[in-house]
């Protein structure tokens, strides 16, 4: 059990500049595509033009004949030299390599990789690679893919269903039988993604005299070096991933394992450094970075007061052509399947279905935002069915503050929360219903949107053994190592990449708080993977909790070392000493300063306690505070901490043009003890903007007739611009987690988890007086207008 540091804090929660910003604002970030190595070669993939086809033959002779072209690697060649990529689900016959082997399974799939002296030349050469295809039947719709007789994406697997798990938590049928009211509905979450502005980039170099593969990659990927090594049949210590690369945004998707395996293989085979920087078209079609695509069928059993007692949810996710870890995005939401509501029993049917579409990758929230959208839609529907205020229905269903820690039916205990408190505080900011009515009086369509959601944070991987019993991994750690040099300087190491979450600032503040030394005096580094302790990378909204926890633990160990040295030197018990700002004070007024202690540790061995090793260094490999039990009876503790966000927004639109404008955006946010206020604010605003995209603009649409993507560039996949994102008013509440070092919870996914639900709710409130509603995203203007027109036809 973590011993929690209590406020008041010196540095935690205080306004402070984010140290990473200083280099970024001067153009001094070091991104993977910035690296230049002598003799470096460049890649361009040959992409499939068909959604499904047998590869009959690949003729690369004309491409290879171009001067400056070094190689054209095919899937068959790579498969012979590597192991398949990791499968998350228990689907051994769904085999995936970085390049298609024998068959292409989606339009845009990488079929071959051209390597040349320059990127432009590689693009010239790829046009000369002749691939002969024999087209096969294909299926792109998830539900159609489940129908008997549908074309099989992976025939050896025998079905397109990659995951089919049915859970029953609590007395579902009894509650449904007893409930006076029931409703059923369907919502659709379209395929979108996080779409960072930096595409995926990786450079690899094989050092044949040391047998080491150096990799610089824009990644946010747990166990990345291990996966490369395994696939390339190398020992784990023969892959050195450089974590000091700055990553140009990820929010989940920068996994890049296929890219790294490809480039690692090429670097070894060619004896030259090889770089692959996806261009935007390659990224959006063949970069395997698209997100969940869900159809939810939900039934709720509730009473006349609007209390929801039980839920049945079927979530069907069209994961695309390969599995990877994407089916697990149906698993994480199990840890908050009832949201902030005291729903007593849940039936959950998780279905991951393969289709001839681009494979999915992890997206901010790992499946939680779509699930929240489905649940919030239901709460709104309960209110509508009873003619009740939507706020009131939420108040009646919220778990009450005094009920925490609160065990939900699926096995997770929520750590802490005060949902009623934050709701009241947020709605007190403005009467959006009155503002809505004023807009309606002007002839506009206007609606208020409400969403109350949890952000499970501090990520473990408990959903993996829950969904795939073959997987027994429950260890999910983060690490920090602190070193004090002989001049007294403190250097703290973190052991993963970072993609904009200000982890260096986090570590410096956490260490500073314990050491009582200003954060500015603490250097934070990111050594390479061979010099690193175990990490699981910044996924699952975990780093404030996990990296913060590791940094505090390591600093506490260092502090104990200092006290032990001082106690020996002063001849007193450590318990009689007081640590203050680096110095150690004895009760009798004697003290040892930081510099004196450093000198003893580094230079004056004769003053060290017997058996104590020289130097000052400490590390922590910190485990998720709720531990790592295997699932039992289909239940498991998922993430330890649960942040809460309450969205309260106002949307208006013209009756015909129907372009939704967000007039007010108020969000109540509670992530426990805030460590870096500006960072948390940025995460929340960015998450809201991402949710605006998912709700209104973004979709990896596809032409069902041809299986071709119709949104493959920034011209047709629309990210919100500054015009589309309104000013956001944030209301803070601090409900500390009892589980973490400062009482903090996660905030890396905040905003996004509820904004699509809130926007959908607001639009439906605007449509409601006209007798129509929409239960699919994105809600494009034409869709809304056409629906309204239908009522008048």
Partner 1 sequence: MKPAPFEYIRAETVLQAQEWLAADPEARVIAGGQTLMPMLAMRLVRPTRVIDIAGIAGLDEIAVTADHVTLGAMVRQVAVERSAALAQALPLLSKAIRFVGHPPTRRRGTIGGSVANADPAAEIALVAMTLGAEVLTTADAFAARDFFLAPMTTALPAGAMVTGLRFPRVAAARRGTGFAEVAMRQGDYAMAAAACELVLGAGGEVPSLRLGIGGATPVPVLLDLAAPTRDAVAAALAPLEMMHDPNAGAGYRRRAALALAMQALDEAQREVMA
Partner 2 sequence: MKLALNVNGTDRVLELEDRTSLLDALRDGVGLKGTHAGCEHGVCGTCTVLLDGEAVRSCLILAAQAEGHAVTTIEGVTPGPGELSIVQDSFVETHGMQCGYCTPGMVLAAVALLRDNPAPTRDEIVEAISGNLCRCTGYGQIVEAIALAAERLQRSNTP
- Report the interface residues with partner 2, using CB under 8 A: 17-18, 20-29, 31, 33-34, 36, 120, 194-198, 246-251, 277, 279-280, 499-502, 678-679, 681-683, 685-690, 713-715, 719, 721-723, 725, 727-728, 751
Q: Is 65 in the site for partner 1 (CB under 8 A)?
A: no
Q: Is 654 in the site for partner 1 (CB under 8 A)?
A: yes
Task: Please give the Cα distance from 672 to 405 (Å, whole number).
Answer: 14
Q: Is 124 in the site for partner 1 (CB under 8 A)?
A: yes
The region of 144-152, 288-296, 407-415, 715-723 touching partner 1 under the rule CB under 8 A is: 715-723
Q: Please give, one letter per residue, the 3-state secondary structure of 621-684.
A: EEECCCCCCCCECCECCCCCEEEEEEEEEEEEECCCCCCCEEEEEEEEEECECCCCHHHHHHHH
Residue 537 beta carbon to partner 2: minimum distance, rounded to whole angstroms: 15
Binder of residue 690, out of partner 1, partner 2, none (CB less than 5 to 8 A by kind): partner 2
Partnered with residue 189 across adjacent β-strands are 294
Judged by CB, which is closer to partner 2: 339, or 500?
Answer: 500
Q: Is 120 in the site for partner 1 (CB under 8 A)?
A: yes
For residue 177, count CB atoms less than 10 angstroms from its CB and return exposed for 0-12, middle for 13-18, buried for 19 or more: exposed
Residue 714 beta carbon to partner 1: minimum distance, rounded to whole angstroms: 10
Q: Are residues 503 and 546 in contact, defined by beta-carbon separation less than 8 angstroms?
A: no
The region of 22-30, 333-341, 431-439, 716-724 touching partner 1 under the rule CB under 8 A is: 716-724
Task: Please give the Cα distance from 260 to 275 (Å, whole number).
Answer: 10
Binder of residue 575, out of partner 1, partner 2, none (CB less than 5 to 8 A by kind): none
Peptide bond preceding 405: is omega within 30 degrees of 0, i.e. cis? yes
Neighbouring residues of 244: CB distance < 8 A, sequence distance ≥ 6 = 30, 525, 526, 527, 528
Q: Is 303 in the site for partner 1 (CB under 8 A)?
A: no
Please provide residue 158's backbone torsions phi and psi, each rounded to the nearest 5 degrees: 85, -5
**Rounded to the nearest 10 degrees, how much is the dihedral formed by the CA atoms of 461, 496, 78, 157?**
10
How far is the CA of 243 from the CAs of 274, 278, 494, 555, 583, in angstroms? 18, 20, 9, 22, 33
Task: Please give the Cα distance from 772 to 19 (Å, whole number).
Answer: 50
Parallel/antiparallel/unpaired status of strands 69-74 and 308-320? unpaired
Q: Is 781 in the site for partner 1 (CB under 8 A)?
A: yes
Task: Please give the Cα distance from 383 to 178 (Å, whole number).
Answer: 20
Per DSSP, which regions of 16-124 are E strands? 41-47, 53-59, 69-74, 103-104, 110-116
Judged by CB, which is closer to partner 1: 124, or 528?
Answer: 124
Parallel/antiparallel/unpaired status of strands 212-217 and 239-241? parallel
Per DSSP, which regions of 475-612 are E strands? 477-484, 490-494, 522-525, 577-580, 583-586, 591-592
Q: Are residues 718 and 697 in contact, defined by beta-carbon separation less than 8 angstroms?
A: yes
Residue 319 beta carbon to partner 1: minimum distance, rounded to whole angstroms: 22
The region of 213-221, 430-438, 757-765, 777-785 touching partner 1 under the rule CB under 8 A is: 777-785
Binding map of partner 1 across residues 263-292, x = CB under 8 A, - = no contact: ----------------xxx-----------
Binder of residue 10, out of partner 1, partner 2, none (CB less than 5 to 8 A by kind): none
Q: Is 267 left (phi over 0), alpha (psi -120 to 50) or beta?
A: alpha
Within 675-704, the residues that bind partner 1 by CB under 8 A are 697, 701
Q: Is 785 in the site for partner 1 (CB under 8 A)?
A: yes
Q: Are residues 546 and 537 in contact, defined by beta-carbon separation less than 8 angstroms?
A: no
Neighbouring residues of 792: CB distance < 8 A, sequence distance ≥ 6 = none
Residue 374 beta carbon to partner 2: minimum distance, rounded to whole angstroms: 24
Judged by CB, which is closer to partner 1: 105, or 780?
Answer: 780
- Side by side, the strands of the sheet bearing 41-47 are 69-74, 110-116, 41-47, 274-277, 201-207, 212-217, 239-241
Q: Please give, one letter per residue, the 3-state secondary structure of 749-780.
A: CCCCCCHHHHHHHHHHHHHHHHCCCCCECCCC
Binder of residue 659, out of partner 1, partner 2, none (CB less than 5 to 8 A by kind): partner 1
Binder of residue 711, out of partner 2, partner 1, none (CB less than 5 to 8 A by kind): partner 1
Binder of residue 400, out of partner 2, partner 1, none (CB less than 5 to 8 A by kind): none
Binder of residue 20, out of partner 2, partner 1, none (CB less than 5 to 8 A by kind): partner 2
Q: Is 720 in the site for partner 1 (CB under 8 A)?
A: yes
Judged by CB, which is closer to partner 2: 628, or 682?
Answer: 682
Q: Is 715 in the site for partner 1 (CB under 8 A)?
A: yes
Residue 126 beta carbon to partner 1: minimum distance, rounded to whole angstroms: 11
DSSP 3: P
Residue 683 beta carbon to partner 2: minimum distance, rounded to whole angstroms: 8
Residue 502 beta carbon to partner 2: minimum distance, rounded to whole angstroms: 7
Residue 727 beta carbon to partner 1: minimum distance, rounded to whole angstroms: 16
Q: Is 713 in the site for partner 1 (CB under 8 A)?
A: yes
Binder of residue 657, out of partner 2, partner 1, none (CB less than 5 to 8 A by kind): partner 1
Parallel/antiparallel/unpaired status of strands 103-104 and 53-59? antiparallel
How far is the CA of 154 from the CAs of 95, 103, 201, 491, 624, in angstroms? 8, 10, 29, 50, 37
Residue 29 beta carbon to partner 2: minimum distance, rounded to whole angstroms: 4
Judged by CB, which is closer to partner 1: 318, or 561?
Answer: 318
Binder of residue 124, out of partner 1, partner 2, none (CB less than 5 to 8 A by kind): partner 1
Binding-site size for partner 1 (CB under 8 A) equals 30
Judged by CB, which is closer to partner 2: 275, or 396?
Answer: 275
Residue 93 beta carbon to partner 2: minimum distance, rounded to whole angstroms: 37
How far is the CA of 209 from the CAs of 205, 206, 212, 271, in angstroms? 12, 9, 8, 11
Residue 687's nearest CA partner among 632, 728, 715 is: 728
Judged by CB, which is closer to partner 2: 114, or 301?
Answer: 114
Binder of residue 701, out of partner 1, partner 2, none (CB less than 5 to 8 A by kind): partner 1
Binder of residue 645, out of partner 2, partner 1, none (CB less than 5 to 8 A by kind): none
Residue 749 beta carbon to partner 1: minimum distance, rounded to whole angstroms: 24
Q: Which of 568, 602, 659, 773 binds partner 1 (CB under 8 A)?
A: 659
566's enclosing H/E stretch is helix 543-570
Helices 755-767, 368-386: crossing angle, 10 deg rounding: 30
Task: Please give the Cα distance from 388 to 371 (Å, whole number).
Answer: 23
Binder of residue 49, out of partner 1, partner 2, none (CB less than 5 to 8 A by kind): none
Q: Is 710 in the site for partner 1 (CB under 8 A)?
A: yes
Binding stretches for partner 1 (CB under 8 A): 119-120, 123-124, 127, 279-281, 654, 656-657, 659, 697, 701, 710-711, 713, 715-716, 718, 720-721, 723-724, 780-782, 785-786, 789
């Amino acid at each position: 059990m973590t011993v929690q540091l209590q406020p008041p804090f010196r540095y935690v929660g205080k306004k402070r500049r984010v140290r990473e910003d200083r280099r970024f604002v001067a153009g001094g970030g070091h991104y993977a595509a910035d690296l230049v190595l002598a003799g470096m070669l460049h890649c361009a993939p040959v992409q499939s033009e068909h959604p499904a086809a047998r590869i009959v033959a690949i003729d690369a002779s004309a491409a290879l004949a171009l001067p400056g072209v070094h190689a054209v690697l095919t899937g068959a060649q790579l498969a012979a030299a590597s192991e398949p990529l990791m499968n998350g689900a228990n689907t051994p016959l769904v085999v995936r390599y970085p390049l298609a082997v024998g068959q292409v399974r989606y339009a845009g799939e990488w079929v071959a990789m051209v390597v040349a002296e320059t990127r432009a030349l590689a693009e010239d050469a790829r046009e000369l690679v002749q691939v002969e295809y024999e087209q096969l039947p294909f299926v792109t719709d998830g539900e159609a893919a489940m129908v008997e007789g549908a074309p099989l994406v992976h025939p050896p697997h025998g079905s397109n269903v990659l995951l089919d798990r049915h859970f029953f938590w609590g007395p579902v049928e009894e509650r449904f039988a007893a409930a006076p009211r029931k409703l059923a509905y369907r919502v659709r979450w379209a395929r979108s993604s996080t779409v960072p502005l930096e595409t995926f980039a990786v450079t690899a170099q094989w050092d044949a005299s040391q047998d080491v593969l150096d990799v610089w990659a824009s990644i946010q990927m747990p166990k990345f070096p291990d996966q490369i090594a395994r696939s390339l049949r190398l020992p784990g210590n023969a892959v050195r991933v450089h974590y000091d690369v700055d990553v140009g945004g990820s929010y989940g998707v920068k996994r890049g394992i296929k890219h790294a395996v490809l480039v690692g293989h090429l670097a070894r085979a060619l004896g030259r450094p090889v770089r692959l920087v996806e261009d935007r078209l390659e990224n959006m079609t063949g970069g395997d970075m698209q997100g969940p695509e869900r159809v939810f069928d939900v039934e709720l059993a509730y009473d006349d007061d609007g209390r929801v007692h039980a839920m049945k949810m079927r979530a069907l996710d069209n994961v695309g052509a390969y599995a990877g870890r994407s089916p697990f995005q149906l698993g994480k939401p199990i840890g908050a399947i009832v949201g902030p509501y005291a729903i007593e029993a849940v039936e959950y049917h998780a279905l991951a279905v393969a289709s001839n579409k681009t494979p999915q990758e992890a997206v901010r929230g790992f499946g939680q935002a779509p699930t929240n959208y489905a649940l919030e839609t239901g709460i709104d529907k309960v209110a509508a069915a009873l003619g009740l205020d939507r706020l009131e229905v939420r108040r009646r269903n919220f778990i009450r503050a005094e009920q925490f820690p609160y065990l939900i039916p699926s096995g997770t205990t929520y750590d802490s929360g005060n949902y009623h408190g934050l709701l009241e505080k947020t709605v007190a900011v403005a009467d959006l219903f009155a503002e809505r009515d004023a807009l309606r009086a002007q002839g506009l369509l206007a609606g208020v949107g409400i969403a109350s959601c949890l952000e499970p944070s501090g990520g473990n991987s408990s959903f993996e053994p829950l969904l795939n019993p073959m997987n027994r991994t429950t260890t999910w750690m983060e690490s920090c190592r602190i070193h004090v040099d002989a001049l007294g300087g403190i250097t703290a190491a973190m052991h993963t990449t970072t993609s904009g979450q200000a982890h260096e600032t986090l570590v410096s503040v956490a260490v500073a708080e314990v050491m009582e030394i200003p954060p500015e005096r603490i250097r934070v580094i990111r050594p390479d993977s061979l010099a690193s302790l175990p990490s699981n990378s910044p996924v699952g909204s975990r780093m404030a909790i996990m990296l913060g926890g590791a940094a505090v633990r390591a600093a506490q160990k260092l502090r104990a070392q200092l006290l032990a040295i001082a106690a020996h030197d002063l001849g007193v018990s450590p318990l009689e000493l007081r640590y203050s700002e680096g110095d150690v004070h004895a009760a009798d007024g004697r003290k040892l300063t930081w510099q004196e202690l450093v000198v003893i540790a580094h230079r004056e061995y004769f003053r060290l306690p017997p058996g104590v090793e020289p130097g000052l260094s400490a590390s922590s490999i910190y485990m998720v505070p709720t531990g790592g039990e295997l699932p039992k009876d289909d239940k498991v503790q998922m993430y330890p901490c649960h942040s809460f966000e309450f969205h309260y927004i106002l949307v208006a639109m013209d009756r015909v043009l129907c372009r939704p404008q967000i007039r007010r955006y108020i969000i109540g946010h509670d992530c426990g003890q805030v460590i870096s206020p500006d960072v948390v604010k940025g995460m929340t605003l960015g998450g809201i903007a991402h949710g605006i995209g998912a709700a209104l603009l973004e979709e990896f649409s596809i032409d069902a007739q041809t299986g071709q993507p119709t949104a493959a560039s920034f011209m047709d996949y629309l990210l919100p611009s500054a015009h589309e994102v309104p000013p956001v008013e944030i209301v803070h509440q601090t409900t500390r987690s009892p589980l973490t070092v400062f009482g903090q919870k996660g905030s890396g996914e905040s905003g996004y988890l509820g904004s699509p639900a809130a926007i959908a709710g607001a639009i439906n409130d605007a449509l409601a007086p006209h007798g129509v509603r929409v239960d699919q995203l994105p809600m494009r203007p034409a869709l809304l207008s056409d629906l309204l027109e239908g009522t008048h036809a």
